[in-house]
Structure formats: structure tokens, C-alpha cells
Amino acid sequence: MNQVTSNSSRFNLRAQVVQTLLKVQQGQSLASILNTQLNQVAERDRALFHELVLGTLRQWFALKSISLPLLSKPLNNETVETCLYVGLYQVLCTRIAAHAAISETVDATKQLGFPALSGIVNAILRRATRETEDFEQGLQQAHGLPSWLFKRLKKDWGEQTEALCQSLKQVAPLTLRVNQRHIGRDAYLAKLQSLDIQARACLFSEAGIVLEQSVQITQLPGFEQGWFSVQDEHAQLCATLLPDLNNKTVIDACAAPGGKTAHLLEKFKPAQLIAIDQDPSRLVRVTENLNRLALDQSHTEILAADATKWNPVQPVDCIVLDAPCSATGVIRRHPDIRLLRQSSDIAQTIELQKQILEHMWQQLKVGGTLLYITCSILKSENEQQMINFFTEHPDAKEVKIEADWGIEQVHGRQLLPEAQSGDGFYYCKIQKIA
């Protein structure tokens, strides 16, 4: 299929959005391309570009389900289909004037090399403006997930699936973790309020604050001084589940981008903290975060290492294992996962989790604690992984998490994504008893 991939001034903003979405369909993650793509967009348009890319991805499969019945035959053209979804997203989900959304999207279709098919895009978008209520209803009712994922969630969560799908279509809230080495949460909330920035304390995280309006993070008070980080509320619960780590030796396995590493140093003073990750480029973020937060790193080591093979000098007191997973719990923040993740990936991921878990378990002292974490909502990566682990490890004992959050599983607790609250996370706390 002929696709335009080079950028130039002859492409309007919608065409640039479509080009970015085509790259995602070709298997590139937003994390790897978004900044480059943004830099090619005029500064005044970057916020809109960002919204159109993420919003269209968030609604991708819902937009697909409402547009398919409108086509007499499949388009079989990724570029034009993407133009159609971007147009429908604008008409149904934004405040952009319909006439502007339609004309810009039709122009984009022509600019990207398909003038003959621009009439179809025009006709469907105009119909959407005439039958807005029906289209909005269709969008609302669609589960909005690739069919393989929907089937898995249905199997795992039964009656909860519909509410879960609706939650996954929402925009995730912007949540801060206050660095309590610098300032208390209440004091920081007071600072925000004095600047008329709407914010509230998180329900479950003692250091968390949800921002209730759109803000520029770098402009918030104390950014340069390291008073806070951006971190989901449910991810913040990690540090609250750990035993006292003062003067202990700790491994943060699969540590990048370093949110948990930083939180451990904010809450404890370990004798040694070793943060490992296989990807050296992602470890740069860990160092940058720790530096900005002005945390004591004199007993911290950041290593590029493979968690299935690397051994510490001697066994350690605690391991925080944020295992690789499908990331289905954070789809709201990373909507490209809807397109990038395939059903066939899951079995490979489960095997990798098992390898890391087995190897890390060997690095733990008797009496030590391993906290197993994923940002997945699939039971095969969470509950089932733990059932298999405990079956094979008589030297392992679950430490029940007594909490008023999440859903108790056979082992561990599962948090599901909630509107105006945290993402999907799973935690299981394990003690080595022999």
C-alpha cells in the first residue's frame, strides 16, 4: 500500500496525525516516536496534535466498529481508514467545529495521496454530523478493545468486563507522588491551592495527589527542587506494601523508568539499593529522576543487567519485581498498546515472567520478601503465575495483603483501572521461609 511517511510543510496537522498513527500500526511505539513527531509540528498546534493522536488511539476499535457498517465494501487502505477514524474522533469526541474537522481531514486524505477516496471520508463524516446521537451511542456501546483482549477480559472478569472496558476508554488522571523528604503532602496541597490549582489527596496512597485540571508539569511549584514525581496512584502502593527497608539490601528488578526506585529512597534508607534493567537507554531516566528529586544515591547502584541471569554479590533482604507484562492495566496512558499488543505475545511474556521470578527468587535471603508486581489485568500474568509459583515452591509463603483497595485473588490483590483513579495493577507479597 502506498503510504506517505516523509513529513513536509505541504501536510496539514491531520495528515501529520495520520502519519504518526500509521507508524504505530507498523509496530512503532508512541514512546519511541512521539517526541520526534511533535517536533515536526508547529508549536501552537502541538497540544491538539497530542490530543488527536492519543484520543484516536484510545477510541480506535470503537471507531472501527461504528465505521465498518457504513462501508459498502472494506476500504483495504490503512491511510484512508486512519483519516476516517481521526475525522470521526474529532466530530464525536472533541469540541472542534464539525466543518473544520471535516474539511481538514478530507484535505489530509488528498495530501496523503488518495484524492479518489476522499469523497468516502467526506460522506461518512457529514453523515456523522447529521446523526451525531446515533454515532455517539454506537461509540459508547462499543467495548473499544481488540477482540482477543476483550475475550480474555470476559473470561477473567465476567460481569465486570463492561465497566472495565468503559474505564479503559477514559483519560487517566494526572497523579503526583509528593517527595516527603522535601515537603509533606498537605503542605504541597496548600501550595497548589494558593495558586488556584485544583487538586485532591489520593484515597489509598499517603503521598499521592490527583490534579483536577490540565497543567504544565514543569511549571508546578518545586518541580526543579524535586518536590514531586508523576506516578499513578496504584503504582504508588508498592512502597506501602514493603517491610522496613532501613539498613537492608534491596533489588529493584526491571526498574526503569525509576518511579519505584525513587519512592524507596524517599521512604527508606537502605544499606544498599541496586536498580537493574535490561535496557541501558531506559536507565538514563532512572538517574535523571533520582538527580532531580535530590535523593541520597550514595548507597544506590544502577545497573544494566538481565534479570534472568544477573547475580548480586550475596543474597538480599528484599526484591521488588515489577515484571514485564502485557501492560493492559495502563492502556489509558499508553493507548498504542491496543494496536501494538497481540494475543500471541502473552504466552512469551508469561514465560519471561517465570524465568525472571525463578532467578530472582534464588537471590533472596531466607526470611526475605519478594513483591511481585505487574501493570496487567490478565489473570494469566498475575494470579495464575502466582498459583504456578507457589505450587512449585514449598520454600515460599504468601504474606496476605490486608487492604481496603483492589480485589482479593487466590494469591495477591488485583486493582482494576477506575475513572478518576489509578490504573490496573497486581501485587503479591511473598516471603522466603526455607
User: Which residues are known to be catalytic?
Assistant: 375
> Is 307 known to sit in a ligand binding site?
no
Q: How many CB atoms lie within 10 A of CB 36?
A: 11
> Is 154 known to sit in a ligand binding site?
no
Strands (E), 305-424: 316-322, 364-374, 396-398, 407-408, 413-415
The secondary element (H helix, E strand) that includes residue 178 is strand 174-178
Q: Which of 417, 412, 426, 418 has the alpha carbon at shortest distance from 375?
A: 426
Q: Which of 317, 181, 179, 178 has the alpha carbon at shortest distance from 243?
A: 317
Q: Which amino acid is at 282?
A: R
CB-facing half-sphere around the CA of 218: CA atoms within 13 A: 0
> Is 258 known to sit in a ligand binding site?
yes
Q: Is 166 left (phi over 0), alpha (psi -120 to 50) or beta?
A: alpha
The whole-angstrom separation of Cα 230 and Cα 58 is: 21
The whole-angstrom separation of Cα 431 and Cα 369 is: 5
CB-facing half-sphere around the CA of 135: CA atoms within 13 A: 23
The whole-angstrom separation of Cα 308 and Cα 311 is: 9
The whole-angstrom separation of Cα 360 and Cα 224 is: 35
**Are the C-beta atoms of residues 295 and 228 closer than 8 Å to each other?**
no
> Is 296 known to sit in a ligand binding site?
no
Phi/psi of residue 406, nearest 5 degrees: 75, -175
> Is 306 known to sit in a ligand binding site?
yes
The whole-angstrom separation of Cα 390 and Cα 215 is: 45
Rg (CA), the chain: 23
Residues 6+ apart with CB under 8 A from 43: none
**Are the C-beta atoms of residues 105 and 68 closer than 8 Å to each other?**
no
> Is 107 known to sit in a ligand binding site?
no
> Is 257 known to sit in a ligand binding site?
yes
> Is 277 known to sit in a ligand binding site?
yes
Q: Is 406 left (phi over 0), alpha (psi -120 to 50) or beta?
A: left
Verify cis geometry, omega within 30 degrees of 0, for the bond prior to 257. Answer: yes
Do the bridges between strand 174-178 and strand 228-230 make them parallel or antiparallel, or are there none, so unpaired?
antiparallel
Annotated binding site: 254-260, 277, 306, 322
Annotated binding site for S-adenosyl-L-methionine: 254-260, 277, 306, 322
